[in-house]
Amino acid sequence: MAKRFIILLFIAAWLSGSASGQRDHPRGRSFDAESHPVKHPEEQQTQYWVDKAQEKLLSKLAEAETQTANTNKAKNVILFLGDGMSVHTVTATRNLLGDSAEQVYFEGFPYTGLSKTYCVNRQVADSACTATAYLGGVKGNYGTIGVNGQVPRYSCDGDAKEENQVLSIAQWAQAAGKDAGLVTTARVTHASPAGVYAHTADRNWENDWEVANRGCDPAQTIDIARQLVEQPVGQRLKVILGGGRQNFINTTVNDEEGLPGLRTDGRHLIRQWLDQKRAANESANYVWSRKGLGLVDLEHTDYLLGLFANSHLPYNGDRDRKRSQLADPSLSELTEAAIKVLSRNQEGFFLFVEGARIDMAHHDTYARRSLEDTAEFARAVQKAREMTAEDDTLIVVTADHAHVMSINGYPEITGLAQLADDNLPYTILSYANGPGYYSGYNRAEGRALLKEENGDDVAVYASGPYAQYFSGNYEQSNIPALMARAAGIGPYA
Ligand SMILES: *[C@@H]1O[C@H](CO)[C@@H](O)[C@H](O)[C@H]1NC(C)=O
Ligand SMILES: *[C@@H]1O[C@H](CO)[C@@H](O)[C@H](O)[C@H]1NC(C)=O
């Protein structure tokens, strides 16, 4: 039975990289100091750890003396969302960055808490219902976005009743005279960013064809891309940066990279967006490449729409860094551009930034891709913190839900652990489900495929005005209330 409990999953990239390692791991031999030399000899000394603890105490004492809690009004609020970024993911990213003692940038933020991610009808949440929680302050049903728990998934008229719609903190910011924007490495109509501006009974309704495919009338049930361009919150977003041109153009139309759209209603929503802004005499720019983004005069741009891929942006590790015309911008570059545009409003702004592909890499069990995207996500957080002042800008970093990746076994995180009962080594980072599960495990004997993420709490890291609000353990739906209170906007002001 023992082997049943060991999930044998091989992450191809690492396996090939560590193939020679297999010979060093004969069955049953334990790992001693000789085969795994200590990386930092100073860690073998008691004094090293005592000094580290003293350092921590000194900084805490200094904080107590000099720091009163930051109770400034938050002019700006930036919410960073690492999709599927479990605590395990952050831990493993430290190793990617260097070693276990390394800190991922936002781990240095002064306040940390835990948020409870379940949704109304599921213990284990998805990116849709969690978006309603961390952006709108209300929990809804699995698969739905921007609507409360009265709305069952796939109900055609689910978004129709105003009392069932959940407004997001982006709307609260706009109503208070601030600007709002979103940045994501996914399609801008994907579940998490849709929480900023959409109300829909199904996360898949990103275009009219998907709506019709579920038996609803696309003229009544407005798809997510159309909501972004035609409905008030989306219309007023000053910055929209991500992927997903496919949901803006018809199947008969090709995008700048020659790839077709998915719409069947003939709408060209990119053109529609530009026409709208120009009709209102606003300066608006649409860009589709890193080069195009570089040419935009961000200090004189009212509205910026950047759709850099037909679907999602590539994993950070797969970004095309050579061909300048088609090169893809990084999440930190997108974040920098967004802050430049939004900073033009003296009243401040709300910005949502999503590292979307951390989760997608996990789903495909590409652990290294996932950690690289987490590292780039951390660079984006750092860029934002450096561009803004702790005095007036609250930055909150969290995840929507955790993931099933776990850290098992003894030697290095990116290597192979001992041999299991079947004489094969297993990787330290393993997945309890996902497509890689079957490729590494005997289908006939294997466990049932679990499709979901897991229901763990996720961490929340905060810096800036009222960051102290974010310590402790609370509902994910409390997050927008705490942010809004810090900024003095919306129903929680
Ligand atoms: C859009 O696509 C649909 C089907 O894919 C097609 O029937 C229709 O003619 C197209 N509309 C335009 C305006 O090209
Ligand atoms: C549009 O804006 C420009 C520059 O801000 C201004 O000179 C012009 O009068 C405006 N036109 C209209 C029709 O509002």
Q: Which of 208, 253, 264, 269 to mutate to test the pocket of ligand 1 (most atoms within 8 A of CB)?
A: 264
Q: Which ligand is nearest to the CA of 281?
A: 2
The CA-to-CA distance between both ends of the chain, in Å, stands at 56
Q: What pLDDT score was predicted for residue 434?
A: 41
For the record, the structure tokens of 431 come out as: 């997945």
Cα of 219 vs centre of ligand 1, distance in Å, is 15
Cα of 281 vs centre of ligand 2, distance in Å, is 6
Spatial separation of the C-alpha atoms in residues 301 and 283, rounded to whole Å: 6
State the catalytic residues: 127
Cα of 280 vs centre of ligand 2, distance in Å, is 9
Is the four-CA dihedral 21, 26, 32, 34 of positive or negative sign?
Answer: negative
Residue 128 phi/psi, 5-degree rounding, is -80, -60
Q: What pLDDT score was predicted for residue 429?
A: 53
Known binding residues for Zn(2+): 83, 359, 363, 400-401
Amino acid, single-letter form, for residue 205: W
For the record, the structure tokens of 401 come out as: 């839900």
Neighbouring C-beta atoms of residue 231, cutoff 10 Å = 16
Residue 475 phi/psi, 5-degree rounding, is -70, 140
Q: Which ligand is nearest to the CA of 282?
A: 2
- Can you give the residue ranges of every domain in the chain? 75-405+453-492
Q: Kindly give, in sequence order, each residue whose CB lies less than 8 Å from that of residue 124, ignoring residues fewer than 6 positions away.
A: 118, 401, 452, 453, 454, 455
Spatial separation of the C-alpha atoms in residues 353 and 358, rounded to whole Å: 13
The residues pairing with 111 across neighbouring beta strands, listed in sequence order, are: 462
User: Residue 374's closest CA among 95, 147, 134, 172?
Assistant: 95
- Using CA atoms, how far residue 112 sits from 148, 219, 413, 459, 484, in Å, is 28, 45, 24, 7, 18
Q: Kindly give, in sequence order, each residue whose CB lies less than 8 Å from that of residue 209, ignoring residues fewer than 6 positions away.
A: 218, 251, 262, 263, 264
Q: What pLDDT score was predicted for residue 454?
A: 58
pTM to 2 decimals? Answer: 0.84
Phi-psi region of 95 (alpha: psi -120 to 50; beta: other; left: phi over 0): alpha
Cα of 282 vs centre of ligand 2, distance in Å, is 9
Dihedral Cα 70, 73, 75, 78, nearest 10 deg = 50
357: enclosing H helix or E strand: helix 357-363
Q: Kindly give, in sequence order, each residue whose CB lies less than 8 Å from that of residue 9, ignoring residues fewer than 6 positions away.
A: 365, 426, 427, 430, 431, 436, 437, 440, 441
Neighbouring C-beta atoms of residue 309, cutoff 10 Å = 22
Q: What pLDDT score was predicted for residue 367?
A: 75
Q: Which of 246, 249, 251, 254 to mutate to test the pocket of ligand 1 (most atoms within 8 A of CB)?
A: 251
Q: What pLDDT score was predicted for residue 364?
A: 65
Q: Which ligand is nearest to the CA of 283?
A: 2
pLDDT digits (tens), the chain, 493 positions: 333 333 333 333 333 333 333 334 444 444 444 556 677 888 888 888 888 888 888 888 887 776 678 999 999 999 999 988 988 888 888 888 876 677 899 999 999 999 999 999 888 889 999 999 999 999 999 999 999 999 999 999 988 899 999 999 999 999 999 999 999 999 999 999 999 999 999 999 999 999 999 999 999 999 999 999 999 999 999 999 999 999 999 999 999 999 999 999 999 999 999 999 999 999 999 999 999 999 999 999 999 999 999 999 988 888 876 665 567 899 999 999 999 999 999 999 999 999 998 887 776 667 788 888 899 999 999 999 999 999 999 999 999 888 766 665 444 454 444 444 444 444 545 554 443 333 333 333 333 333 345 578 899 999 999 999 999 999 999 999 999 999 999 998 8
Question: Does ligand 1 lie within 6 Å of residue 59's CB atom?
Answer: no
Q: In the CATH scheme, what is the code of domain 75-405+453-492?
A: 3.40.720.10
Question: Does ligand 1 lie within 6 Å of residue 408's CB atom?
Answer: no
Known binding residues: 83, 190, 192, 354, 359, 363, 400-401
Spatial separation of the C-alpha atoms in residues 81 and 458, rounded to whole Å: 11
3-state secondary structure of 144: coil
Q: What pLDDT score was predicted for residue 406?
A: 63
